[in-house]
Amino acid sequence: MEDENQATEQEYAFHSDLLHQFTVIPSVDKAWLFNSHAGLASQAMFCVSQPNLLTNKRKKSILSASLLRQSDGTVAFHWAPFPIELSGVSAMVPSPSASKLLIVRNPENEGPCRFEIWSSSQLEKEFHVPQSKHGSVYTDGWFEGISWNLNETCIAYAAEEPAPAKPTFNDLGGYQKRSSSDKDGGTWKAQGEWEEEWGETYAGKRQPALFVIDITSGEVQAVKGIDKSLSVGQVVWAPAIEGSVQYLVFVGWSFETRKLGIKYCYNRPCAIYAVKAPHHESKANETETYSTEDVQAVNLTQTLSSAFFPRFSPDGKFLVFVSARSSVDSGAHSATDSLHRMDWPEDMKLYQSSKIHEVIPVVLFAEDGSFPGLYCSNILSDPWLIDGQTLVIASVWHSNQVLLSINVLSGEILRITPDNSNFSWSLLTLDGNNILAVSSSPVDVPQIKYGAIVKNTTNDKEWSWSDVSNPIFKCSDKVWSSVSSLTSNIMKISVKDASESLTKGASQPYEAIFVSSKTKKSDACDPLIVILHGGPHSVLLSSFSRPLAYLSSVGYSLLIVNYRGSVGFGEEALQSLPGKVGSQDVNDVLTAIDHVIDLGLASPSKIAVLGGSHGGFLTTHLIGQAPEKFVAAAARNPVCNLALMVGTTDIPDWCYVETYGTEGRDKFTEAPSAADLTLFYSKSPISHLSKAKTPTLFLLGAQDLRVPISTGLQYARALREKGVPTKVIVFPNDVHGIERPQSDFESYLNIAIWFNKYCK
Ligand SMILES: CC(=O)N[C@@H](C)C(=O)N[C@@H](C)C(=O)O
């Protein structure tokens, strides 16, 4: 409150107006290309979202374009005059032939889940699936899987299991055996037994299970043969075999005594299974049946601790998937992926014996800019180029995200987006040998790119990328002129005091992205904000970030440090951090800061630090371990006390692994010993609190299950007790990400004003 009074109304007005102009720049969430390799004309559809501060939700819309191939080979996009708002839509999935479109509308409360089937001109069918059949369809990007069968008669998907019946009592306290719907009143439902959930962002979500809807009759069947204890998702149809029952392939996650948090955590064991799909009408020539006895799901990837994102080749001859086995086996929540292929036998009965080939192994370290390993967070539902054996994938490569083409038979990996650039790319869709992607840098607003192969011989493929002029990323003149005055580059930072005991990968340079004004207004440097990602096995990419671009446009240089342990730099560098958190990562950040000071790019007396989660752990460590270095700090849901967090977080195993290293995976217990708690405390920012004196802003989500609010609050109160200026903003309805539009806006507005107060 005091700060609000001190910051002038003009300052708030100026900042909220400018931040708003950055905030409302839309994003493209998904896109589809139809028919682009067939003729001269094709179509594209873009699903666009934009934060809406008044409703505190993201507004979603669809914008279409016609693509016309010009005589010179280029493609012109003709955009529809306006986007159409998509209201209440949870998922949309075109059928393989693009003649039908599925729209799913999940219920807001106890209502049915609605499935709509659209043709090119109208709504063809609408089915309401009651809660007694299943709850909401999963659209979380992880369990999510909505898949049309090839002849477009059925759709398989993951949805919440129906709610278990709860004990019911009448008004006299009498137990009623039957779980009535209480139509006549006079009864009440007890809570029933508590069930484990998958933690952060899955609160209140029931177990994901598989269903198939027949889009002619609307009949919905639960898929049988799946162990009740498995959480399942990412379902796809196996290639159809004439006259035979169809199979579904899906991912299953099991758990032992407890479901540990799964969001951002690729270290949860999972496997790919095959199971017979229910059939909806009996066909005379179908020899196989669908009874519970012979439909038991079969684990296809027993030899791997992790397998997900199953994708069949267009000819149905092989199945490709990603594995995070290095993450599961080491206990690190995210690590270097591997890519695998298994041949898909024509005789379904042989699939269990199919050999798994490793297409891309886990890369330990890479020299001289060569491929650092696979780090992919998604694969398109149809990722294949025309040859049917090369897939296109987005993967983190140092501080950039790039697009790779991977020939899954030869193992050839090509970086198909321009290298030596400060840009990051995300993949929207592909059709034939044409790609729609988005490219941006910290100082370049996103740009839609159209990619096509211009040279295609066995040994030589060349891609051309053209800018697609589009109305989506139009931004205000103010934003445009602000970002035009900025520049960014990626710096290599040498490891300080590299010792013999370090692995080769851990001795290689890490990176920091430096963003600053193109021109120096005076002799003095602009104040610097050091920005630190969470995880710690995550990365801050060289892509356009609306709030960070806002901070640089109000007069700050940014130093975004991808310290060792970040993804994108090979497995050895990543695995060098667990066991050394609070020291190796802290020192990497301090080295990066010294690097820019030594280059004369930052003034040592005007440095602020900002980080969330593990980045908040580093922020609060830095103000304790290097109290003279920072004039202001801001921490979003920071890990300040591992000894407190371990008892309340959804990922207590993370506290063990990051504190002890990989041995922490086996040490993990729900009942930490006194020795564990002592070590957790000593590795935590709270153990350096007595030295901290930096004014600090705390942004805390009260619904955070990952880093519960108590750890940030405890540290903030302790700083206050010492007389250090602190400000705490609690967002009552936010989870770990603090991403709801109003909360995100209020956070960055306050960060800028807090830093202005102490840095300028
Ligand atoms: C695995 C994980 O969630 N770790 C947290 C402590 C964390 O740092 N989270 C990251 C993903 C974040 O940026 O929020």
pLDDT score, position 556: 98
Distance of CA 256 to the CA centre of its chain: 25
Mind giving me the DSSP string for 19-80? Answer: HHHHHT--EEEEEEEESTTTSSEEEEEEEEEEEETTTTEEEEEEEEEEEEE-TTS-EEEEE-
Q: What angle do CA 295, 298, 303 make, to 5 degrees?
A: 175
Q: Which whole-number Å values give the CA distances from 74 to 70, 392, 402, 452, 461, in the listed order? A: 5, 21, 23, 9, 18
Of ligand 1's atoms, which has the minimum distance to the CA of residue 613? 8
Distance 575 CA to ligand 1 centre (A): 16
Total domain count for the chain?
A: 2
The answer to whether residue 160 sits within a structural domain is no
Is 31 domain-assigned? no
**Which ligand 1 atom is the nearest neighbour of the CA of 535?**
8
Structure tokens at 423: 């840009």
Query: Could you give phi then psi for residue 337, rounded to 5 degrees?
Result: -85, 165
| 137 membership: H or E segment, kind and range | none
Structural domain includes residue 152: no
- Please report how many Cα atoms fall inside a 13 Å half-sphere around the Cα of residue 702, on the Cβ side: 7
Calpha distance 584→496 (Å, rounded) = 10
Cβ atoms 612, 635 nearer than 8 A = yes
Side chain identity, residue 372:
P
What spacing in Å lies between the alpha carbon of 107 and ligand 1's midpoint?
30
Bridge partners (DSSP) listed for residue 486? 517
Kindly give the distance from the C-alpha atom of residue 613 to the centroid of ligand 1, in angstroms, as a whole number: 5
Q: What ligand 1 atom has the least distance to the C-alpha of 538?
A: 11
Task: Determine if the peptide bond prior to 94 is cis (ω within 30°).
Answer: no
Nearest residue by C-alpha to atom 2 in ligand 1: 535
Q: Which two tokens stand for residue 557?
A: 């240089």
In this structure, the residue with its CA closest to atom 7 of ligand 1 is: 535
Distance CA 716, CA 727 (A): 8
CA distance 370 to 415: 10
Domain boundary among 147, 176, 196: 196
How far is Cα 685 from Cα 532, in angstroms, rounded to an integer?
15
Find out whether 731 and 740 touch, Cβ atoms under 8 Å: yes
* Helix or strand holding residue 693 (H, E): none
Distance 534 CA to ligand 1 centre (A): 5
Nearest CA to ligand 1 atom 13: 534
- Nearest CA to 518 out of 480, 557, 569 is that of 557
Amino acid identity at 540: L
Q: Give every CB contact of residue 141 below 8 A, 6+ residues apart in sequence.
A: 378
Q: Are strands 220-222 and 123-129 parallel, antiparallel or unpaired?
A: unpaired
Nearest protein CA to atom 9 of ligand 1, as residue: 535
Tell me the Ramachandran region of residue 577: left when phi exceeds 0, alpha when psi lies from -120 to 50, beta otherwise: alpha
In degrees and rounded to multiples of 5, residue 515 shows phi and psi of -120, 130
pLDDT of residue 736: 98
The interface predicted TM-score (ipTM) is 0.98
195 SS3 class: coil
What positions carry a catalytic annotation?
Answer: 613, 704, 736
Dihedral, 273, 279, 283, 285 alpha carbons, nearest 10: 10
Low-confidence ranges of the chain (pLDDT < 50): 1, 282-288
Residue 615 CA: nearest ligand 1 atom is 8
Q: Find the domain containing 186 and state its range.
A: 165-196
**Nearest in space to 433 (alpha carbons), one of 376, 391, 467, 378:** 391
DSSP-derived pairing of the beta strands 632-636 and 696-701: parallel
**Cβ neighbours for 211, distance < 8 A, ≥ 6 positions apart:** 133, 134, 156, 157, 158, 159, 220, 221, 222, 223
Question: In this structure, is residue 523 part of a structural domain?
Answer: yes
Q: Is residue 261 packed enough to be buried (19+ CB in 10 Å), middle (13-18) or exposed (0-12)?
A: buried
Mutate which of 200, 333, 548, 614 for ligand 1? The one with the most ligand atoms within 8 Å of its CB, which is: 614
Nearest residue to 606 via CA among 597, 619, 615, 595: 597
Query: Residues near ligand 1 with C-beta < 6 Å?
Result: 264-265, 333, 534-535, 538, 612-614, 639, 651, 654, 706-707, 736
Q: Is-contact 529 755, C-beta < 8 A?
A: yes
Q: Return the bridge partners of 159, or none.
A: 137, 209
Residue position matching structure tokens 């931004």: 475
Specify if 602 maps to a domain: yes
**How many whole angstroms separate alpha carbon 411 and alpha carbon 168?**
59
* Nearest CA-CA partner of 148 in 100, 102, 95: 95
Please name the residue whose Cα sits nearest to atom 11 of ligand 1: 535
- Cβ atoms of 340 and 357 within 8 Å: the answer is yes
Point out the ligand 1 atom lying closest to the alpha carbon of residue 736: 14
Sheet holding 308-312, edge to edge: 308-312, 318-323, 338-343, 356-360
Domain termination residue (choose one: 145, 174, 196): 196
Domain membership of residue 326 (yes or no) is: no
Q: How far is the CA of 545 from the centre of ligand 1 (A)?
A: 18
Q: pLDDT at position 283, please? A: 47
Ligand 1 center to residue 683 CA distance, Å?
17
- Residue 24 domain-assigned (yes or no): no
**Which atom of ligand 1 sits closest to the CA of residue 616?**
8
Specify the pLDDT at position 286: 47
Q: Which residue shows structure tokens 């970002």?
A: 483
Task: Tell me, yes or no, whether 405 lies in a domain.
Answer: no
Q: How far is the CA of 536 from the centre of ligand 1 (A)?
A: 7
Going from the C-alpha of 122 to that of each of 102, 125, 293, 377, the distances in angstroms are 12, 9, 42, 35
Candidate of 645, 707, 711 to mutate for ligand 1, largest count of ligand atoms within 8 Å of Cβ: 707
Please report, for the domain that includes residue 530, its CATH number: 3.40.50.1820
pLDDT of res. 243:
75
| Cα–Cα dist 445/483, whole Å | 8
Beginning with the edge strand found earlier in the chain, give each strand of the sheet holding 557-562 in spatial order: 486-493, 510-517, 557-562, 528-532, 607-612, 632-636, 696-701, 726-731
Instruction: Yes or no: say if 113 and 102 are a contact pair by the CB < 8 Å rule.
Output: no
Ligand 1: which of 621, 680, 706 to mutate, most ligand atoms within 8 Å of CB? 706
14 Cβ contact list (under 8 Å, min separation 6): none
